[in-house]
Structure 1
Amino acid sequence: MKIAMTTNGKTLDSLISDNFDANQKFLVVKISDMSTEEIAISNDLTAADLAQKVIDLNCEGIITGNFLSEKAFDLLADGCVTRYLGSGYSVAEAIKLMEKRTLPLIRNFEGTDKCSGDHH
């Protein structure tokens, strides 16, 4: 399983970003061996482009902060990518919490715990 993350760095000690946007580092972690891959993103990439990149990389989930772009949120939700709220945690901590099923889900664009529409 691969999980994408928006971070402030490129290691397992890096912190998860406060927001999902294209101005962050973009890291993909293969959970089976905890290997990391930093994905290069260009300066002209939008949040929706970044969401599509997560889908194209076949990531099952993303650990990030709040969404600033409803279009990016909708792309990920429609692409069946599970969204986790991990801001403030290191990559390694967030993965451990995700595996224990204690990392909060981002169920809707507003960031509340309620489901809305077809996205959950």
Structure 2
Amino acid sequence: MNIAIAADGENLSSKVSGKFEKCLYLLIIDMNDLNITVIKNDELFQDSYPKNLADDILQYDCEVLITGDIEKAAFDILADAGVTRFLGADYSVEKVLELVEKRSLKLIRSYDGTDSCGGNHHH
């Protein structure tokens, strides 16, 4: 299983980004062998960036995204594709991997941070 983590650095000691669209890197972690693929967020200052980051997550067949806040455009793309979203902002990447294994991270049900779902998305 692949997990995507929006991070401010390129390794396990990096912090999870507080905002998905503003992350410096997207780390794709293969949970079978902990192999990390690092994707630099080159789209930070372009209009299409949320879609490109979300597309990267889908391209790597990630089942989970761990991030901070997420905007509606990216949220909708990921939710419609069945990618589960967890809140992990300010933890280290290493810590969120532990927490996701223990099922201890809060589910991001809505892009606005509420627990209600505004659409027909999978949780």
TM-score (norm. length: structure 1): 0.91
Specify every segment of 5 or more residues in structure 2 that has no aligned partner in the other structure, as ranges.
none
Please give the alpha-carbon distance, in whole angstroms, between the structure 2 residues aligned to 1:79 and 1:88: 26
Q: Which residue is 2:102 aligned to?
A: 100
Please give the alpha-carbon distance, in whole angstroms, between the structure 2 residues aligned to 1:23 and 1:92: 17
Matched pairs, number: 119
Cα deviation digits, residues 9-33 of structure 1 (max 9, x gap):
1111110000110552111111112
Q: Which residue is 2:53 aligned to?
A: 50
Identity %: 39
> Could you tell me whether the CA contact under 8 Å between 1:27 and 1:37 is conserved in 2?
yes
> Could you tell me whether the CA contact under 8 Å between 1:22 and 1:47 is conserved in 2?
no
Offset, 1:114? 2.6
> Could you tell me whether the CA contact under 8 Å between 2:8 and 2:23 is conserved in 1?
no
Tell me, what secondary structure is at the counterpart of 2:117? coil
CA RMSD in angstroms comes to 1.4
What does residue range 31-110 of structure 1 map to in structure 2 within 5 Å?
A: 31-43=31-43, 44=46, 45-67=48-70, 69-110=71-112
Are residues 9 and 52 of structure 1, via their aligned partners in 2, closer, same or farther at CA, if it must alter by over 3 Å? Answer: same
Specify every segment of 5 or more residues in structure 1 that has no aligned partner in the other structure, as ranges.
none
Please give the alpha-carbon distance, in whole angstroms, between the structure 1 residues aligned to 2:11 and 2:26: 11
Identify which range, 72-81 or 42-51, moves more after superposition: 42-51
Identify which range, 97-106 or 17-26, moves more after superposition: 17-26
Please give the alpha-carbon distance, in whole angstroms, between the structure 2 residues aligned to 1:36 and 1:9: 12
Are residues 11 and 37 of structure 1, via their aligned partners in 2, closer, same or farther at CA, if it must alter by over 3 Å? Answer: same
> Could you tell me whether the CA contact under 8 Å between 1:2 and 1:28 is conserved in 2?
yes
- The answer as to 2:109 corresponding to 1:113 is no
Offset, 1:53? 1.4
Q: Which residue is 1:28 aligned to?
A: 28
Offset, 1:2? 0.6
The letter of the residue matching 2:72 is E
